[in-house]
């Protein structure tokens, strides 16, 4: 529900960016150990 086509929007803070870029950032953080 927080993704509309290629745009991601955080329901909590309103942050928006390209959905694929957001996914890549989340994966990079998970791999590097920055996300608990």
- Can you read off the two tokens belonging to residue 10? 């955080």
pLDDT in tens, 13-32: 999 999 999 999 999 999 99
- Structural domain spans, the chain: 1-35
pTM of the full structure? 0.69
- The three-class DSSP label of residue 31 is helix
CA separation for the pair 33, 4 (Å, rounded): 28
Alpha helices in 1-36 (DSSP H): 19-32
- Can you read off the two tokens belonging to residue 36? 């608990």
pLDDT of residue 10: 93
């Amino acid at each position: 529900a927080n993704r509309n086509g290629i745009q991601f929007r955080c329901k909590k803070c309103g942050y928006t960016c390209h959905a694929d870029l957001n996914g890549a950032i989340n994966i990079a953080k998970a791999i590097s150990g920055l996300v608990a």
